[in-house]
Structure 1
Amino acid sequence: MKQILVYADSLSWGIIPDTRHRFDFSQRWPGKLEQRLNDEHQPVRVIEDCLNGRRTVLEDPFKPGRNGAAGIQQTIEINTPLALVIIMLGNNDFQSPHTFTAAEAAQGVATLVQNIRQAPIEPGMPIADILILAPPPIIQPKGSIAAKFNGAEHKWVGFNDALQQVAATHNCDFFDTGSVISASLKDGIHLDLEQHQQLALSLQSVVEVILNR
């Protein structure tokens, strides 16, 4: 059985838009992806490491532990052997306390890629492939998160292209989720149930290719 680590934020944690509730494992895209792969006789275990508010390399000024670069090498060690690490991060870099551009947030993801590959795993353990996912574009933030994401839809512009360039430069696989899903109209950031399900469906073939090559 191959192991896949999803290193991400609230979009993948499965927060139900404009609430503080969570979709079930079978409903959110990592769980649905695991189910679909296993149903197709591709035995996998999908490990979720998805933290609400996680940035790429920035600190949350109000909550500790949201810097994605802090502890990522230990996360890799803990879960090794890994066949694949999927990263979908960056949206929280555009929260109002930060001034990151799309290019800078993408460089934050590049730092995570480098940290993953330099993790001090046990000798002989495989170095995981890395799949970078561009989250769907932020649309006008609404509801309870509107204030902290004020203006994020403008900062986000070009983030997918910048991530694609990072993936090419660092020899990672890349998938633009905005080509198959969109952010929820309820809050402009997170994913509705149907978006989780569609993302799992769209990623299935992408992940199968990576695992089987």
Structure 2
Amino acid sequence: MTVPLIEPAIDPADPLQVLVYADSLSWGIVPGTRRRLPWPVRWPGRLELALNASPGQRPVRVLEDCLNGRRTVWDDPFKPGRNGIQGLAQRIEMHSPLALVILMLGSNDFQSMHPHNAWHAAQGIGALIDAIRAAPVEPGMPSPPVLVLVPPPITTPCGPLAPKFAGGEHKCAGLAQAFAEVCNTRGSKWFDTGTVIRSSAVDGVHLDAAAHLALGDALAPVIHNLLAPLRA
């Protein structure tokens, strides 16, 4: 007996998947420590909870792909695997279908070992957007739209991170404008997180719990509007 092949279908009741591709600011490192904030406090978790708070809408699943030290498109000379463009297309393929990809990278481009400024980091973001759009997703699956989050400006790096990010507060000057130009050229939406949060005073780079909660809350209506046509 021949068993007929059944073409798999995407169930419209399945949760919409949103991929967060980011670094330690989104991983949830507790400033001044190597500990991690709990999932409901980290902004991706806070965002998922907010998006699913209203019954009757298609659920949303926020996937965290957040690696400490990840750059946009550059290597870390001391730790392997921190180049954000390496393997990105395969991650898009792996998690498809995706309703949205959120990029929040750039802060590590300003580590003291790199000579980069805001323009360089923005070009890196542009390369990541291009890689996402060129990812080899399965036939019939959508190429996901991209939302770029501009990290908050680095303040004076202090504590154990001071040598690693020395001068970062100057290198990151003009980051929001540089990101906006790259995103507008590519037709990608962007959000300046520096309008709602600040880097922690503890180390000048990462986000404390209050900032994570505030960012998740600020992003909830933005993401809700982007996903609304798929959730009705």
TM-score by length of 2: 0.91
> Aligned residue for 1:60?
76
- Alignment deviations for residues 86-137 of structure 1 (CA, whole Å, 9 cap, x no partner): 0000000000110111101100000000000000010000111110000111
**Mapped partners of 2:34, 2:176: distance in 1:** 27
**Mapped partners of 1:101, 1:192: distance in 2:** 25
1:141 is the counterpart of 2:131: no
Amino acid at match of 1:55: R
Q: Equivalences for 1:59-138 in 2 at 5 Å? A: 59-138=75-154
Q: Secondary structure at the match of 1:186?
A: coil
Aligned length: 213
How far off its partner does 1:160 sit?
1.0
The counterpart of 1:45, out of the listed 38, 61, 86, is 61
Unaligned runs of 5+ in 1: none
The counterpart of 2:189, out of the listed 154, 173, 178, is 173
Structure 1 segments of 4 or more deviating over 3 A? none
- Alignment deviations for residues 15-71 of structure 1 (CA, whole Å, 9 cap, x no partner): 000100000111100001000100024410000000000000000000000000000
**Mapped partners of 2:228, 2:146: distance in 1:** 14
Unaligned runs of 5+ in 2: 1-14
Amino acid at match of 2:27: W
How far off its partner does 1:81 sit?
0.4
> Aligned residue for 1:190?
206
> Aligned residue for 2:11?
none
The counterpart of 2:49, out of the listed 35, 38, 46, is 35
**Mapped partners of 2:135, 2:225: distance in 1:** 25
**Mapped partners of 1:51, 1:198: distance in 2:** 21
**Mapped partners of 1:69, 1:126: distance in 2:** 20
Amino acid at match of 1:24: P
Amino acid at match of 1:150: A
Higher Cα radius of gyration = 2
TM-score by length of 1: 0.99
How many percent of aligned residue pairs carry the same amino acid?
55
How far off its partner does 1:212 sit?
1.5
**Mapped partners of 2:41, 2:84: distance in 1:** 25
1:12 is the counterpart of 2:26: yes
